[in-house]
Structure formats: structure tokens, C-alpha cells
Amino acid sequence: EAEVAQSPRYKITEKSQAVAFWCDPISGHATLYWYRQILGQGPELLVQFQDESVVDDSQLPKDRFSAERLKGVDSTLKIQPAELGDSAMYLCASSLAGGLAGGLVPYNEQFFGPGTRLTVL
């Protein structure tokens, strides 16, 4: 069964350092999402891509966070510099189509990767 891949699974860094997370969505999924999940809460959207274009990054702290999906397949999320409050689980998800651009499918069935647990010391 196809799965969303993420790496690394765990990352420990010191504040002010740079970190990067990688995601490979399910093959053929045009839409890719990065979520942040704080312990005890549900996932919160950071950024959504439709192919290589950003559809929604309104919740992305752009002073320190950046995301790219250059070829419309895999994606990288970067934090520079990391702060203590960035400690969280970073989840990547993909779907056939969805979001503001509408889609070929009527429902946004998302599939999540295993996540990257970030600890900032």
C-alpha cells in the first residue's frame, strides 16, 4: 500500500540552528500539506501545495519557516532559526486534489506520513 514518507523521524536541535524536514507524498497525489501538531492538540495547517504552487501559507511563520516543492513531487520544510516554541510533531499529508483550487475529487481524503518529532533545546 502506498504511503507518505517523511524524514527524519526525530530531530533534536539547539535554538537558533537550522532544521529541514523532507516529505515524499503518495505517487500521483497533486496536493501536499505540512501540518504542525503540538502535544495534546489536533494538526494545524502550515502550508498547502497544489503541484509546485503554494495554495495556502497564511499560517506559516514566514520570518523563520520556508517550504518548497520545486518539481511538484517531494517537499522540504525548513526552519531557520529554530526557537524553543517550535518543538512539535511536523506532519506531511497528501491527497489526490483539494483545497482552494478545488479538485478532481469531491472530498479531501488526506493521507498522513509518520511525522517528524522536533525537539528544540
Query: Which range binds another protein by CB under 8 A, 12-20, 43-51, 63-71, 74-82?
Result: 43-51
β-pair type (19-24, 10-13)? unpaired
Give me the least distance between CB of 23 and another protein, in Å please: 11
Query: Which range binds another protein by CB under 8 A, 14-22, 60-68, 71-79, 109-117?
Result: 109-117
94 touching another protein, by CB under 8 A: no
With contact defined as beta carbons under 8 Å apart, do 81 and 16 qualify? yes
Of 20, 26, 73, 97, which one interacts with another protein (CB under 8 A)? 97
77 touching another protein, by CB under 8 A: no
Q: Which grid coordinates belong to 77? A: 520544510
Burial class (CB in 10 A: 0-12, 13-18, 19+), 27: exposed
70 touching another protein, by CB under 8 A: no
108 touching another protein, by CB under 8 A: yes
5 touching another protein, by CB under 8 A: no
With contact defined as beta carbons under 8 Å apart, do 77 and 21 qualify? yes
Q: Peptide bond before 43: cis, by omega within 30 degrees of 0?
A: no
56 touching another protein, by CB under 8 A: yes
